[in-house]
Amino acid sequence: MNSKNYYIVAKSPDDPSLQVKISGPYLTQKAAVADLTEAINEAKALDSSAKAYNYEISYLESQKPGILQHMAASAS
């Protein structure tokens, strides 16, 4: 895995410096875009306050999975 990857990130509308990687890593921006709607829908299903978050695709230095992948791995 690369040290920098694309992630779908949720940001607080009240404080954009607060952000959570909800999905990823993706090797390409195109792959992140393809998963964007589904990742947002999953976040909203898990947390009703997620409706207020702002979502974007970011290219970040990290090898840790987003929260949705982390939760899926824990459920297996």
Whether the per-residue pLDDT at 72 is higher than 90: the answer is no
Q: Which two tokens stand for residue 9?
A: 């990130």
**CA dist., res. 31 & res. 33, Å (int):** 5
23-61 tens-digit pLDDT: 999 999 999 999 999 999 999 998 888 999 999 999 999
Whether the per-residue pLDDT at 74 is higher than 80: the answer is no
What's the pLDDT band for 11 if we cut at 50, 70, 90? Answer: very high
CB contact at 8 A, 17 and 66: no
Residues in the chain: 76
